[in-house]
Structure 1
Amino acid sequence: MTPDVLADLVRVAALDVLADRGLDVAALPADVSVERPRNPEHGDYATNVAMRTAKKAGVAPRDLAGWLVEALAQRPGIAAAEVAGPGFINLRLAADAQGALVREVLAAGDAYGTGDELAGRNVNLEFVSANPTGPLHLGGTRWAAVGDALGRVLTARGAKVTREYYFNDAGAQIDRFVASLVAAAKGEPAPENGYGGAYIGEIAAQVVAAEPGVLDLPDTERDEAFRRIGVGLMFDEVKTALHEFRTDFDVWFHEQSLHDSGAVEAAVNRLKESGNLYEADGAWWLRSTEFGDDKDRVVIKSDGRPAYIAGDIAYYLDKRARGFDLCIYMLGADHHGYVARLRAAAAAFGDDPDTVEVLIGQLVNLVKDGQPVRMSKRAGTVVTMDDLVGTVGVDAARYSLIRSSVDSMLDVDLDLLAKRSNDNPVFYVQYAHARLASLARNAADLGVEVGESPDFGLLDHPREGDLIRTLGEFPAVVSSAAELREPHRVARYLESLASAYHKFYDSCRVLPMGDEEVTDLHRARLGLCVAARQVLANGLNLLGVSAPERM
């Protein structure tokens, strides 16, 4: 019995109790829930439905809880129910009811944990979107891991997700990048505010190799060649690095295309026509304060050039024109001001501001031997995705970047991630899966099979119950991760599941020893292990982390 099924059972019982006693059934809250108590001695699950309902129903919470306990004790699957404290209800499930959950996991297989509450939502998920002026740094690497995991989680709960990378290939940063390439090709130091690092020299050399006479061209033609070839090479390098990091995109969108196509001008004109753009001091301003921003924003500067927000506005309209009803932007810690301005832009076009969601990620620090790692040989001043992956591998890099909430600073301990011990979270979870795979091989060697109709009602050991109830939480964890845009919840859940499995394995022998006869309990426990392995694999897949068969 999953927590959702149990919650429905409690809700139906509560409706019956209210009706039988002539109380207002409307007093029952719509979201009846059950949770696992912190102390397992209090039961398998607990609910506060009586406390939430009693006041509106006009009765004492403990009285209502007592009536509910009497009703619930008669329901199939409930072994015991009791009142606790001011009106909590503790529930214990019958072993066969818990065993039914194992059967559900086995039947669902790869689909266990999926749902359809987001069906019909067309989501544009934009993440990473780093400027193509250098290798991906740690901030972009964190977004690559978290963004890809979020896309997987949203898809698992029914949304149609388009992963999109926005290349900022227009503006002063590209100009500085080009100037840096030219300087490197000429053997000169990087210009002021330019880009350094070995990669600049590498790309400059590739440009010269592609067009040997490029340095002899007039300055304008020379710079255009370095722009065209150099930025293209940087794009390709970023795409390759992301692909090797198991992060692929459906759309690679170029900012420059908005300017070239006239989309920016069209968006500005639309705002002018609606009266949401006004002229002052020679510039054109968005009335963003009318839509919740802390100040109005310049869209067209006094010199007639578009401000950066002009491209953002046109880009938002382009997304809406492509049919997206939810636009999620994943931005770095220095982009807090974008939250209000993007929502204001949506409102200025007549859309619900909630069409826009902005997730802000905090910085990442690498630590080795207790000291911060600050330098990259290739990039010169920052640690890159390649640096991290080259040190700990894709699995450890992805997992470590996903398992913490993005709104918190993150220290990645390289020494810890290199350890093959239970102190290393990704090893701990992957080892549980590998251990289960090994058990499955041993079972096959012994000829032990789960069979068509295992008696999961035999699984009445406390450690078996803990593991089963942990398996039952997975769909709700994935659902909340999707709803709250927090894929780290899946990682933390997997650590809890690995812990529950390791404790079960240490307490409950799964396979027969020596000449011992194979029993129904062996088959039931093997089925439970198959279910645990399935859920671990499903969860790791949502994170883009491998589920190894051997370690």
Structure 2
Amino acid sequence: MTPADLATLIHQAATGVLASRDLDTSVLPSKVVVERPRNPEHGDYATNVALQVAKKVGTNPRELATWLAEALATDAAIETAEIAGPGFINIRLAAAAQGAIVGKVLEEGANFGTSKRFADQRINLEFVSANPTGPIHLGGTRWAAVGDSLGRVLTAAGATVTREYYFNDHGGQIDRYSRSLVAAAKGEPTPEDGYGGDYIGEIAEAILTQQPDALTGSAEQVQETFRAIGVDMMFEHIRSSLHEFGTDFDVFFHENSLFESGAVERAVTTLKDNGNLYESEGAWWLRSTNFGDDKDRVVIKSDGQAAYIAGDIAYVKDKFDRGHNLCIYMLGADHHGYIARLKAAAAALGYDPEQVEVMIGQMVNLVRDGQAMRMSKRAGTVITLDDLVEAIGIDAARYSLIRSSVDSSLDIDLALWASQSSDNPVYYVQYGHARLCSLARKAAEVGVSIEGADLSLLTEDREGDLIRTMGEFPAVVNAAAELREPHRVARYAEELAGTFHRFYDTCQILPKSDETAAPIHSARLALAAATRQTLANALALVGVNAPERM
């Protein structure tokens, strides 16, 4: 019985208790809270539902808790239900009910932890979206890991997710990029507002190799040649780096297509027609203050050119027109102003602003020998995705970026994450999985099988700890999806690995060389197999390998 199953049982019991005494059952929360007590001696689980509703139905919390505990104790899945404090109920599961969690994991396999909780959600998840003017920096790399993991978590919770990358290939930054390439091709210094770094020279050289006469023609023709080829080359480098990092997208959306297709013009017309765009001082302004923004925004400048927000507005409209009912933007630390701006754009177009969510990720620093690293020679000014992967590997890079909340800045100690020790979180978790795989191989050699295992034999404290930790996995996945916090899954994997290691050190899983296999060995092997499956499922949601050998 998982915590979710127990919560359902408690809700049913509470409904019956209240109804039998002609008390209002509507005051019961839709979801009963079930938690593991800090002190295991207090039981397997605890609930405060009696404290929540007693006053609402006009009774004493301890009295209501007593009624409910008596009702729960009649269920075969409950060994004991005891009152504590002002009205808490401490619950201990029967051995068979606790062992059923192991059976559930083994039966569901890779599907354990999934649900239909967000089955009605069609989510557009936009992340990374780095400008095609240079390699992906550490901030973008954080989103590449976290965004991919969030997409996996939302999918596991039943949502239909479109992973989308928005290429900013329209505007001034592209002009500066092309001028930098032209200067490098000519052997001239980087323009004052241009892009530096070895990669600019490498791309310029590649363009000349591909098109030897690229510097021939007018200045405008030369810049256009370097722009078109240079953006494509950077685009391909970014896609390749992301793919090798384990992050792939369903849609690569080009900002320039919004202008070429007339989408910007159509969005502007929509806003003019519904009165949410007004003219002032020769420019057209969005009435964004009507929808929670701190000021109205210029959409069409006085010279007739579209402001940057014009593309954002058209893009919002495009996402909803494609059938999404929730749009999640994952943006960098310098984009706080976009939260109100994007919600206002959606509202002005007639959409529910609550269907637009903006996540802001904080900065990432690499630390070596206690000092923050500041520069990548190849990128010129920043540390890149490729730099991080080269330093610590893909699995460690992904895990290190995912296991902390994006709300806080992050320091990555390169020595720690490159080490093969239990201090390295990803190594600790992967070693746990490899150890479980080794155990399965040894079991096969000595002829111990999980077939027909009596899971009610799993009554030791360490066994119970491991079973209850496994049972929490579905709730962890749902919480990670609901709160948009995939780091919860990574932290859970560490907790599960640690609980397994303690179980392994305490309980003899396989018979010793001079022993005959007994039912307890099959039961413990089944528990280990279920742990291996759960750990593999958690690592899959983080996008990290679950090795069989290390």
TM over 0.5: yes
Q: Percent identity?
A: 67
Instruction: Write the letter of the residue equivalent to 1:91.
Output: I
2: CA distance, partners of 1:211 / 1:539: 48
Instruction: Write the letter of the residue equivalent to 1:330.
Output: M
User: Residues 328-364 of structure 1: CA distance to partner in whole angstroms, max 9, x if unpaired?
Assistant: 1110000000001111111111111111111110000
Instruction: Write the letter of the residue equivalent to 1:119.
Output: A
User: Residues 506-525 of structure 1: CA distance to partner in whole angstroms, max 9, x if unpaired?
Assistant: 11010000131111100000
Counterpart of 2:510?
511
2: CA distance, partners of 1:372 / 1:437: 38
Counterpart of 1:183?
183
Secondary structure class of the residue paired with 1:319 = helix
Structure 2 runs not aligned, ≥5 long? none
1: CA distance, partners of 2:546 / 2:443: 19
Counterpart of 1:540?
539
Report the CA distance between 1:14 and its aligned residue.
1.2
Counterpart of 2:104?
104
Instruction: Write the letter of the residue equivalent to 1:44.
Output: D
Secondary structure class of the residue paired with 2:302 = coil
1: CA distance, partners of 2:58 / 2:431: 53
Report the CA distance between 1:426 and its aligned residue.
0.5
User: Residues 476-513 of structure 1: CA distance to partner in whole angstroms, max 9, x if unpaired?
Assistant: 10011111111001001111101110110011010000
Matches within 5 A, 1:240-251: 240-251=240-251
Counterpart of 1:91?
91
1:137 aligns with 2:102: no
1: CA distance, partners of 2:78 / 2:293: 53
Matches within 5 A, 1:144-543: 144-451=144-451, 453-543=452-542
Report the CA distance between 1:11 and its aligned residue.
1.2
Instruction: Write the letter of the residue equivalent to 2:224.
Output: E
2: CA distance, partners of 1:531 / 1:286: 56
Report the CA distance between 1:42 and its aligned residue.
1.2
2: CA distance, partners of 1:159 / 1:336: 26
| C-alpha RMSD of matched pairs (Å) | 0.8
- The number of equivalent residue pairs is 550
Structure 1 runs not aligned, ≥5 long? none
Counterpart of 1:17?
17
Report the CA distance between 1:179 and its aligned residue.
0.4
Secondary structure class of the residue paired with 1:215 = coil
Instruction: Write the letter of the residue equivalent to 1:456.
Output: L
Report the CA distance between 1:23 and its aligned residue.
2.1
Instruction: Write the letter of the residue equivalent to 2:537.
Output: N
Change (3 A) 1:54 1:156: same
Matches within 5 A, 1:43-62: 43-62=43-62
Report the CA distance between 1:73 and its aligned residue.
1.4
2: CA distance, partners of 1:397 / 1:24: 53
Secondary structure class of the residue paired with 2:215 = helix
1: CA distance, partners of 2:125 / 2:298: 26
Instruction: Write the letter of the residue equivalent to 1:166.
Output: Y
User: Residues 418-459 of structure 1: CA distance to partner in whole angstroms, max 9, x if unpaired?
Assistant: 1111111101111110000010111011111101x2110000
User: Residues 384-412 of structure 1: CA distance to partner in whole angstroms, max 9, x if unpaired?
Assistant: 00000001000000000000011110111
Report the CA distance between 1:210 and its aligned residue.
1.2
Counterpart of 1:2?
2
Report the CA distance between 1:320 and its aligned residue.
1.2
2: CA distance, partners of 1:21 / 1:228: 76
2: CA distance, partners of 1:19 / 1:275: 54
2: CA distance, partners of 1:25 / 1:258: 53
